[in-house]
Amino acid sequence: MGNHNSFNLNHKEQLHSARINSLNKDPTLGMLPMEKLGKLLIQKSLEEDSINGIGCGVFKRYLFPQYPEMARKLFAFLVTSSGGPASSHVISYTNFKAQTERLLSVLADDRQVLMYVMMYADGKEEIDQDQFRDLLIAVYKLAMDHYPEGPQSCRYIFKTIQSVVDSAFHKKLTLKVGYLTNWILQHCPRLIVLLHRYIVHILSTGYRSVIEKCPYSKPNENEPNDLELTTPVLEQENLFKTEKNPLLPLSQVWILSTTLPALYTQPILHSKPTPNCFNTQNFLSKFLDFSCPSHWTLLYNSNQHGIGSNRFLHHVLSYRGPTLTFLRGDEGVLFCMGGTSEWRESHQYWGGDDTILLQLLPNYKVINRGPKSMYLNTSIRGYPKGIRAGNDPRKPSIEVDDSFQHVTHCGIPYKLESIEVWGCGSPKNREVQLDIKNWQIKEAEKTRKLKMTSKEWLDHPDRYLLELAGRQTYSTS
């Protein structure tokens, strides 16, 4: 009996010793992600900076080394949300855990936008132009840093961002946080989604980088990168980068992706085997599904194909998918019309619920959205000719005259300098359009080869042209 009791005691001691050893190897074993992260950051702050609590320096180095300014804003927001001063560089474990869990629980879009606007406003009730510009640049940089080819840039980025700032502030120096939140939700509703998802992902899995002492700024070159974020601009890099004025600057594609419905921006992701090991790039490829579409195809460019209604119809009709039409006018104006279905001639307005009209330059804003907002007529008598767009047929928001010489917005005419139409459907939509055009060409060739009778030739205009040229005899076969 005594031996049995001693065996039980030895067994319990061995189990207890095993638990102690396992805890010594990984002190965060059994904790939730935020608990693990908080404990490890406290340990690193003490070891590296001799700080009791979680220091801002360790927070930036281990979690957001690529984005130190964003990390500083986020850390200050966590401190002020817990009642501390914004200038504090230390936060307690309890407050850190409470505020990060609160941040992770924010799901509603309006609350997310309000939270990040307040973050970049340094917790104040008003935000100035520079602070909003910093927020836009942070989101842009985050989207551009995760291309398969490496980080991308656009020399038009500051012009694009300035158009957004000017539109939101209306020449004011500061805005109420609530007003700017509502403006973003109306004109750039998906601006904050990328930033929020990225921060949530880093906070949820950040304990791994702290344990491995491998910050996210040191990617493993041997790990495959399955993130697809190429754009039409990048797919034709030589063409667009050699031009002084590229067809569609990357920064404009980016800001459009924060506004356009998914019908236009949903890219085609090429499936690749995902490694079992942890890889931030692999995760990003799952949620950066709208940042910059890779499937847009150029249908019509007036600088290349010529401007006019016939040229427009020839290149755009028969593309049975959503399209984006860009209208550039003098004085630097740029408009975009998003059509949910193929262009067609009609005396009635058409388009689905995701039809959208925007102005990109000099101010960025949504003009209209909603069904039956598009109109095209070049041949039906008794009805207005040209292109029209808007919710009110009696007072369209955008007009292009039938000669394609002017584009009018809010009653102000601008000389139409160029038109571009991009197809936003699947590659099959483009293949179907090309097949239809090839069929039309073949049918036209067949018609030209038909022999005419003598009577038909006597009334044919070509006979008159030949006689003018001095040819009086010709075959009537």
pLDDT of residue 255: 94
- Of 168, 156, 157, nearest to 128 (Cα)? 168
Do the Cβ atoms of 440 and 327 come closer than 8 Å?
no
pLDDT tens digit string along 199-244?
Answer: 999 999 888 878 876 554 444 444 433 333 333 333 444 333 434 4
pLDDT tens digit string along 350-382?
Answer: 999 999 999 999 999 999 999 999 999 999 999
pLDDT beyond 90 at 443: no
Tokens representing 443 are: 């049918």
Do the Cβ atoms of 190 and 293 come closer than 8 Å?
no
pLDDT beyond 60 at 88: yes
What gap in Å lies between CA 307 and CA 309, rounded to an integer?
7
Query: Counting beta carbons within 10 angstroms of the beta carbon of residue 145, is it exposed (0 to 12), middle (13 to 18) or buried (19 or more)?
Result: middle
3 state SS of 329: strand
pLDDT of residue 439: 52
Higher pLDDT, 147 or 163: 163
Q: What are phi and psi of 388, to 5 degrees?
A: -135, 150
Element (H, E) at 148: none
- Of 67, 105, 99, nearest to 84 (Cα)? 99
Which residues are CB-neighbours of 2 under 8 A, at least 6 positions away? none
